[in-house]
Amino acid sequence: MHAGRDLAADLALALSVADDADAYTLPRFADRDFTVDWKTNRTEVTEIDRRAETMIIEQLVRGRPDDAAFGEEHGLAGVPDAPWRWIVDPIDGTSGFVRGIPVWATLIALTHVDDGAVLGVVSAPALGSRWWGGVGLGAHVTARGVTRQIAVSRVAELADAQVNVTHNHGWDALGLSRNLVEFQLGARRSRGVGDFWQHMLVAEGAMDVAVDAVGVAPYDLAALKPIVEAAGGTFTDRHGVATHEHDTAISTNGLLHARVLAALHT
């Protein structure tokens, strides 16, 4: 329970909704049967995004009629001033989805006006993986039919760390690209898988650090933060503020977090 709320029941609802979303999105990804439009922020969107969000929001509002729900494509539904709000990204990684790259997922989060994001589900059917977790719920992954509890790594030295950095023009505009490159060079190995997956790899203990692109939005992050935290990790913006509502996101195993923030501010 959390603030009088049965989060286990909310998780069951979110997982059921994710099942239906996967059943809709995965066959269409495989068939490549969709058209692509461009939003004003120069990112892709398909009718699959829009329809999936409608399905997800309708089920959440029906299941929790006293809550609000917000989606990337269609905005606010339900009770606008409700303290509990579901935040949905129907397809995080649409640019990959439209190119046939399997790194995309449906993100479903539950947030509270005072406590932020408390529950998250990240379902990536083309990768065959789903992650979920939250306050009092632990953190788990299901992959290839096996479900297990997950936890962040115990790597304490950058020289031993596996890190993931998503570069974009936003880091250039902040004058921090050189800092990121130097940080990567100090690690044992650097990758760049991007989007939700980098943070879920941190939650699993496969990666030790993930630095996201500048310009992320709440619907990109709300489902990720509670999973990373439930796995024992730390999730903040680039200034160290623990939030899903700012335009940068860094997740780590906790042991390396201060070092990452220091690297960005030297």
CATH of residue 241's domain is 3.40.190.80
pLDDT band at 43 (very low <50, low <70, confident <90, very high): low
Same domain for 13 and 143?
A: yes
Same domain for 162 and 179?
A: yes
Same domain for 172 and 60?
A: no
Q: The whole model's pTM is what?
A: 0.94
CATH code: domain of residue 116: 3.30.540.10
Question: Per residue in 238-266, pLDDT tens?
Answer: 999 999 999 999 999 999 999 999 999 86
**Total domain count for the chain?**
2
Q: What pLDDT shows up at residue 21? A: 97
Q: Could you tell me the CA-to-CA distances from 100 to 34, 81, 89, 96 in Å, in that order?
A: 12, 39, 19, 6
Q: Mean pLDDT score of the chain, rounded to an integer?
A: 92
Q: Please provide the distance, in angstroms rounded to a whole number, between the alpha carbons at the two ends of the chain.
A: 42
Q: What are the two backbone dihedrals, phi and then psi, of residue 13, each rounded to the nearest 5 degrees? A: -65, -45
Question: Per residue in 59-109, pLDDT tens?
Answer: 999 999 999 999 877 789 999 999 999 999 999 988 888 888 999 999 999
| Structural domain containing residue 131 | 7-149
